[in-house]
Structure 1
Amino acid sequence: MSESGTRHPERWKRASEIVGVFLLSVVAVLTAWCGFQASKWGGEMSIAFSQASSARIQAANAEGEARSARTFDLTIYSAYVQAVGSGDDELAEYIRDRFTPEFDVAFEAWVADGMVEAGPFGREEYVPAGTVEAEELTARADAKFAEALENNQRGDNYSLLTVLFALVLFLTAMSQRDIAPWVGRVLLGLALVITGVGAVIMATFPIRI
């Protein structure tokens, strides 16, 4: 075999070793970064789930407050109706002064419209204390729950990339084995392609520091 023919395999082997070491180093860093990001997004997921749970509890408390307010208004209104029905105007006026502000608004609107509805409780003006807070907290809980699911998916995406980069490590290691040169080239080339694809995909993922 000629001297040039002998040097060619040696140059290829040396070049493949250099590329392999460089690739292993880069992939090791990328894998560590993916693990770090997966951990961070997992933490964000836990925080969002906790916030969603807290908002659910607060919303339940607010809904309980709204039910209590509605029950109180219904009780006072029933007494008012009985007083009016019995012709006791003084008692009716006394009870009327005890209406809650939320119910009083609905009652005034109901009377102004000719008392068409069966009662003021069906009016849109009637918003018992705690109703708005319950709606806002429920919406916050839903938003935080959706955010938690999104953060979980982001963490999973980074975890999947670690599997992809693990494949690169395997292919690179195999390319350095005592195998046919063309097989080594194919394995190393495939490892480079996968690394490039993985890096491009990772660049599209959000980052949490």
Structure 2
Amino acid sequence: MSPRKYFAEFLGTAFLLIGVVGSGIMADTLSDGNVALALLANAIATGCMLYAIITTLGPVSGAHFNPAVTLAFALRGEHAWSAVPPYMLCQIAGGIIGVWASHFMFDLPILQSSTTMHRTGAHQWFSEIIATLGLLFVIFGGIRHKPDAVPPLVGLYITGAYWYTSSTSFANPAVTIARGFTDTFAGINPAHILMFIAMQIIAVFIGHIVLNWLFTHQE
């Protein structure tokens, strides 16, 4: 694959995490302790960033920005398996760089580790299955029925899923890993990352079965 595709995945995921973490820092700073208001601002900013990066980088790399999405496309035979590891590495590296860039912009210590303690438990693990399955649902449903609508579909879905999932819809292993590197509003304790990722991968395999059947081209 072209290096341009890998760089697009790196850059897009970096901007995604800048959107997630940077808006989280700003929202937490300005909300005066109102967590609901901070989450609303964080969700809107993340959804807007997703719309922007998917629209602009989709024609370059497919705009995955998410190892779970890359795996889902590979299982469908729509992404070369040889390109899966480099895509995932670029996404993870881009996410971490995006977190560090956010820290630098807001004059915070660049190297951090999250101490957030409330992102664990069976209810949140199940929430990540729902969050990731829903993301794949709007991606593949959009591709099947209205490809031009995929960027707003993803942006709107994640904006809403921040609110209607108990985990606030990470739905992305690269995002999950990167958010372990920030002790800010968007952080996740590194000890909780593995189970979140496991649930996201489970959702990919559920989606491979269910969504392929649901959105089959047969009438």
TM-score range normalised by the length of the shorter chain:
under 0.3
TM-score, normalised by the number of residues in structure 1: 0.23
Larger radius of gyration between Structure 1 and Structure 2:
1
Of Structure 1 and Structure 2, which has the larger fraction of its residues in helix? 1
Higher RCO (CA-CA < 8 Å; seq separation 6+): 1
- Report the TM-score when normalising by structure 2: 0.22
